[in-house]
Amino acid sequence: MPKRATIQDVARAAGVSVTTVSRYLNGRYESMSEKTREKIAAIIAELGYRPNALAKGLKAQRTETVGAIVVNMSYPFCVGFLRAFSRTLGAAGYHLMVAESEGDAKRERQLIESFVANRVEAIALQTSGANNDYLEELAREMPVVLVDRAFALPHAYAIGTNNRDASREIAWQLFDLGYDRVVYLTEDERGIPTRTDRLEGYLDACRVALREPVVMRVRRGDPSSFHEALARVDACARKARTAVYTANGLVLMECYRPLRALGHKVPVQLGIATFDQPDWADLVDPPVTCVRQPVEEMGEAAGRIITARLRGEGVTAEVLVVPSTVAMRGSTGRG
C-alpha cells in the first residue's frame, strides 16, 4: 500500500503553498491566477490526489455522514426504508453508514456509540427501546430519528405508521366481510410497540365486533410454533368461516404454504390478510389482502428531517405518523 498523496505533496510539486491548494480544493478560484489553478489541477490529476475527508472533518467538525441502525437489513421494512433514506441523504451529499442490531439492545448501544465515535452527524434507528435514556441524551446533541418502533422521546423525532388504527381497520373489515373468526398470528410482541399496537388494534376490533379474539404466538424459524397455530386455524375453519390475519409479511410468508395446504377454499372458507405489503402479495392466487405501510415515505421523511436539521432549519413535527392503508384483495373475497 503506497501512502496516498497529501495536500503537502501537491503544494510542493506545484510550487505553491498548501493554502493555495486548499483554496483550489474548495473552489475559491476568484483569488488565484489562471496559471496556478491549471498547475494545481495538473498535479492533482498526476498524483491521483484525493483530499483526506478525515482531516477535513476533524478540522471542520463535520463528517457529512449519517448513521442508520436497523434490526435486519433484509427485512422488507428495512430494505424499503434504507433505500429511500439513502437516496434522500445521497442527494444532499451525505454518506450513509449502516449497521444491524439484530434486535439486541446491547449491540444497539455499541453501534450507537461507535457511530458517535465516528462523528456521524445524525442517526436514524429502529430501536429496541432499551436505550431510550441514552438516546434522549444523544438527541440533545444531534438529530436522532426513531423509525418504525417509534418511541416518543424528548428531542428525538419519531416516524411510524398508525399501527393500531390500521390493524383495527383491517380486522374490522374482515368481520364485516363475514368471517366469523379472525385468528391473529404474531411474534412475541412484548417491548415492541409496532407489535403491541397491531395486536391492540386487532383486540379493539374484536371488542367492537363482539367476537372472541384468537391470538396465536409464533416464532419465526420454529416450525412447531406454526404447526400449533395452523392446527388452531384448521379447527376454526372447519366450524365456521375463518380468516387468518398475520402481524407482518414475514410471518405470513413462513406459514403461507402450510396454510394453503390445509385445503380450505380461499376466500370462501378461509380468508387471508396481513400487515405489511409483501412484494409477492399480488402474485399468489388469490392476491393477498394487506395493510400497505408507506415504508419509502418514512425513509424519505427521515432523510428530509435530518438534512433540514443539519442545514440549521428548525423542524417542528416531533412525531410523524405516516398512515397505512388497507388494500382489499381476493384472499378475503373482495378487491
Partner DNA sequence: TTGAAAGCGCTAACAA
Partner DNA sequence: TTGTTAGCGCTTTCAA
Task: Provide the mask over 267-296, with x wherever binding to its own copies is found by CB under 8 A and - wherever it is not.
Answer: -----------xxx-xxxx-----------
Stretch of residues binding DNA (CB under 7 A), selected from 49-57, 152-160, 202-210, 301-309: 49-57
211 closest CA partner among 203, 222, 200, 220: 203
With contacts defined by CB under 8 A, name the span among 138-146, 190-198, 207-215, 238-246 that binds its own copies.
138-146
The answer to the question of residue 8 lying near DNA (CB under 7 A) is yes
**Least separation in angstroms between CB 27 and DNA:** 10
| Three-state DSSP state, 144 | strand
Take residue 116 and report the three cell numbers written for it. 458517535
- What is the smallest separation between the CB atom of 137 and DNA, expressed in angstroms? 18
The residues in 81-120 that bind DNA, with binding defined as CB under 7 A, are none
Cα–Cα dist 73/122, whole Å: 19
List the grid coordinates of 114: 461507535
Partner that binds at residue 239, options its own copies, DNA, none, CB closer than 5 to 8 Å by kind: none
Minimum CB distance to its own copies smaller for 5 or for 171 = 5
Closest contact distance (angstroms) between CB of 30 and DNA is: 6
Among residue numbers 41 through 80, which ones bind its own copies (CB under 8 A)? 48, 50-55, 57-58, 63, 65, 72-74, 79-80
Give the span between the Cα atoms of 175 and 3, in whole angstroms. 69
DSSP state of 253: H
Q: Which does 98 bind (CB under 5 to 8 A by kind): its own copies, DNA, none?
A: its own copies
Pair type for strands 144-147 and 95-100: unpaired
CA–CA distance from 320 to each of 73, 135, 246 (Å)? 23, 18, 25
In degrees, rounded to 5, the angle at the alpha carbon of residue 225 between the alpha carbons of residues 223 and 229 is 110
Cβ neighbours of 39 (radius 10 Å): 18
Residues 335/289, Cβ–Cβ less than 8 Å: yes
* Identified binder of DNA from the candidate list 55, 235, 268, 317, rule CB under 7 A: 55
Size of the site for its own copies (CB under 8 A): 51
Binding mask 96-135 for its own copies (x = CB under 8 A): xxxxx------------xx-xxxx----------------
Query: Which of its own copies, DNA, none does residue 210 bind (CB under 5 to 8 Å by kind)?
Result: none
Measured between alpha carbons, how far is 275 from 295 in angstroms, rounded to an integer?
A: 12
d(CA 248, CA 202): 13
291, burial (CB in 10 Å: exposed 0-12, middle 13-18, buried 19+): buried
Work out whether 236 is an interface residue with DNA (CB under 7 A). Answer: no
Site residues (vs its own copies, CB under 8 A)? 1-2, 4, 48, 50-55, 57-58, 63, 65, 72-74, 79-80, 82-83, 86-87, 90, 95-100, 113-114, 116-119, 137, 140-142, 253, 256-257, 260, 278-280, 282-285
